[in-house]
């Protein structure tokens, strides 16, 4: 009995360490109460020597999940469903607003509230399956996350700045 347990743990640990795919910065966009659809964004890292594709995603919180690509053509933004998403060998692919992303249709537990987490299962062409809890973020949280890196420190919202900057501004205002 004990030998079987040890053997099972060793096999499980080899499977965990053999994973060639990582998903990072994953989140779902929060929704107002009557909105039935949302989107999910993330980065997928392929640590293998072969190209792979994300072939499907499932979750019990929605009726349907589709992978989409948005593009701008002649000043018009359009969105088109794609069969899968390519992640080249030893590289990453980022799913973000205005580009590749995951559409969530028919939200069952409306609304999706910031701070909640929901389970999603990602199926890849190399037969790997990743199960993750994705956090729900407000639209502003998602936008701020991508823009904060580019924003000068002096233009950041007060709550995003460090205490010394806030103290300096308060001192300047009192003079």
Structure tokens at 73: 């053509």
* pLDDT (0 to 100) of residue 109: 80
Length of the chain: 175
pTM for the model stands at 0.70
pLDDT in tens, 14-70: 444 457 999 999 999 999 989 999 999 999 999 999 999 999 999 999 999 999 999
Asked if residue 71 lies in contact with residue 96, where contact means CB atoms within 8 angstroms, the answer is no
The structural architecture, per CATH, of the domain 21-142 is Sandwich (2.60)
Q: Which two tokens stand for residue 145?
A: 């996350």
The terminus-to-terminus CA distance of the chain in angstroms comes to 76
pLDDT digits (tens, 9 = 90+) for 66-103: 999 998 889 898 999 999 999 999 999 999 999 999 99
Q: Give residue limits of the domains in the chain.
A: 21-142
């Amino acid at each position: 009995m004990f030998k079987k347990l040890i053997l099972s743990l060793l096999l499980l640990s080899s499977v965990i360490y053999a994973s060639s795919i990582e998903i990072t910065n994953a989140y779902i966009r929060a929704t107002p109460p009557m909105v039935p659809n949302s989107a999910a964004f993330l980065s997928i890292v392929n640590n293998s020597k072969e190209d792979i594709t994300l072939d499907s995603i499932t979750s019990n919180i929605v009726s349907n999940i589709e992978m989409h690509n948005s593009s701008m053509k002649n000043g018009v933004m359009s969105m088109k469903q794609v069969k899968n998403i390519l992640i080249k060998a030893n590289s990453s692919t980022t799913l973000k607003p205005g580009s590749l992303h995951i559409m969530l249709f028919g939200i069952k537990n409306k609304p999706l509230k910031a701070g909640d987490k929901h389970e999603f299962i990602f199926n890849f062409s190399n037969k790997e399956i990743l199960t993750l809890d994705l956090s729900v973020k407000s639209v502003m949280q998602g936008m701020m996350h991508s823009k904060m890196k580019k924003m000068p420190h002096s233009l950041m919202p007060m709550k995003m700045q460090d205490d010394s900057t806030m103290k300096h501004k308060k001192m300047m205002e009192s003079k």
